[in-house]
Amino acid sequence: MDKRPWEANIRKVVPYVPGEQPAGDRLVKLNTNENPYGPAPGVRKALREMDAGGFRKYPDPAANALTAALAARYGVGQDQVFVGVGSDDVLGMAFLTFFNGEKPVLFPDITYSFYPVWAELFGIPFKTCELDSSLRIRKGDYGQPNGGIIFPNPNAPTGLLMGLDEVEEILGRNQDVVVIVDEAYIDFGGQSAIPLVSRYENLLVVQTFSKSRSMAGMRIGYAIGHRDLIRALNDVKYSYNSYTMNMPSIILGAEAVKDEAYFQETLGRIVATREKTKGWMRELGFDFPDSQANFLLVSHGQAKAEWLFEQLKKEQIYVRYFKTPRLDNRLRITIGTDEEMEILRKALEKLLQFADVYAG
């Protein structure tokens, strides 16, 4: 078909493809790294008490209740906190705000697959740095000339954690650009770089409510950094959409931050289940990096990942399969409840009996 004239000015993009969101009560959903436990009790209470009458008014454009709760929790100034519609909005806005140089932005070749998508969307030059053979970030790569740096810690989908000393080493060598540490999974076993923001004005730490705080459905992410970085982010935000956070996300988000005991308890359960899962995965012959996140990236010598992925789906068990170089024989499996992991274990045991026959 001929191209219509009005199509000439349309932006060309290759969008990120999110994980499936299959519906149904009986399925075991281990494909999008959601938290198997519900949000904090205070969130339920605040939801019950919410007044729909208030929806007629615009929400607070600065989302003060939410940024105040985060500032208190992390011991920073309220002007050091930026919030957005999930960490995707925060990261996308950060790409648009901070990565406007001529030199390429650096990030790992195997990482959150949205990074190259944002770079393409906004016309930002970038260069990927290859992970080593054990899928670790080679911090030496981040000494080359660049227009900015971003990496997740722990990295996704490997789950591998970098120590804070290594993060600081990268920061130390890159004080002339903005360095973003994407800590979506840090609460499951790592040390956050947030304490470093008082010493490095060019450090932006991004976290999310979608994993450890069990609020994926509310879409809340945040960045913590020097107040000048946060001001720059807010300037760009106010140039795009004055009110990104709706009333429920501000009210319920603040509640989710306040219940530290519940937060620590559910984190502890997920970490315990993860370690238990590592044990039986090894016994079944699976190979995986030693993840400190709420997922494992597994492969098996006798069964192809894509085959396992399809077979598990038939059993109503959803895991994530990426058909991309170096990942196309691995599965990313979210840590669910002990019960869910037990259903997975039984399904995998059964499948592996047939693996030699079918997955040659």
Using CB under 8 A, which residues numbered 32 to 91 contact its own copies? 32, 34-39, 43-44, 47-48, 50, 52-61, 85-86, 88-89
| Residue whose structure tokens are 């895991």 | 319
Q: Which stretch binds its own copies (CB under 8 A): 31-39, 267-275, 309-317, 326-334?
A: 31-39
CA 296 – CA 226 distance, rounded (Å): 33
Q: Which stretch binds its own copies (CB under 8 A): 128-136, 244-252, 284-292, 322-330?
A: 244-252
Q: Which of 147, 154, 159, 190 binds its own copies (CB under 8 A)?
A: 147
- 320 part of the interface to its own copies, by CB under 8 A: no
List binders of its own copies among 184-213 (CB under 8 A).
201-202, 210
For the sheet containing 203-208, what is the strand order?
Answer: 81-84, 221-225, 203-208, 179-182, 149-152, 105-108, 126-129
Question: Cβ of residue 230: shortest distance to its own copies, in angstroms?
Answer: 12
Q: Considering the complex, state which of residue 178 and residue 355 has its C-beta at the smaller distance from its own copies.
A: 178
Strands 317-318 vs 149-152: parallel, antiparallel or unpaired: unpaired
- 5 part of the interface to its own copies, by CB under 8 A: yes
Beta strands in 143-228 (DSSP E): 149-152, 179-182, 203-208, 221-225
> Dihedral through CA 252, CA 258, CA 259, CA 261, nearest 10?
160
Q: Which of 2, 7, 132, 165 binds its own copies (CB under 8 A)?
A: 7
**Residues in contact with 99: Cβ distance below 8 Å, sequence separation at least 6, in sequence order:** 105, 119, 122, 124, 147, 148, 178
List binders of its own copies among 161-180 (CB under 8 A).
175-178
Q: Considering the complex, state which of residue 43 and residue 167 has its C-beta at the smaller distance from its own copies.
A: 43
Question: Cβ of residue 38: shortest distance to its own copies, in angstroms?
Answer: 4
Q: Are 293 and 350 in contact (CB under 8 A)?
A: no
Q: Considering the complex, state which of residue 83 and residue 348 has its C-beta at the smaller distance from its own copies.
A: 83
Work out the number of other CB atoms within 10 angstroms of the CB of residue 1: 3
| Residue whose structure tokens are 């969008």 | 15
CA 22 – CA 349 distance, rounded (Å): 24
Q: Considering the complex, state which of residue 105 and residue 281 has its C-beta at the smaller distance from its own copies.
A: 105
- Per-residue DSSP letter, 135: S
Q: Which stretch binds its own copies (CB under 8 A): 114-122, 154-162, 188-196, 304-312?
A: 114-122
- 2 part of the interface to its own copies, by CB under 8 A: no
Q: Which of 28, 30, 71, 97 binds its own copies (CB under 8 A)?
A: 97
| Residue whose structure tokens are 């597994």 | 298
Q: Which stretch binds its own copies (CB under 8 A): 156-164, 190-198, 217-225, 272-280?
A: 217-225
Q: Which of 2, 15, 134, 323 binds its own copies (CB under 8 A)?
A: 15
Q: Is the peptide bond before 157 cis (omega within 30 degrees of 0)?
A: yes
Q: Which of 214, 291, 292, 311 binds its own copies (CB under 8 A)?
A: 214
- 324 part of the interface to its own copies, by CB under 8 A: no
Question: Cβ of residue 251: shortest distance to its own copies, in angstroms?
Answer: 10
CA 150 – CA 206 distance, rounded (Å): 10
Question: Cβ of residue 100: shortest distance to its own copies, in angstroms?
Answer: 5
Cβ burial 235-255 (10 Å sphere, 16+ → b, else e): eebeeeeeebbebbbbbbbbb
Q: Which of 73, 75, 77, 100 binds its own copies (CB under 8 A)?
A: 100
What does the block give as tokens for 45? 């209470």
# binding residues, its own copies (CB under 8 A): 88
Nearest to 159 by CA among 185, 180, 132: 185
Q: Considering the complex, state which of residue 34 and residue 183 has its C-beta at the smaller distance from its own copies.
A: 34
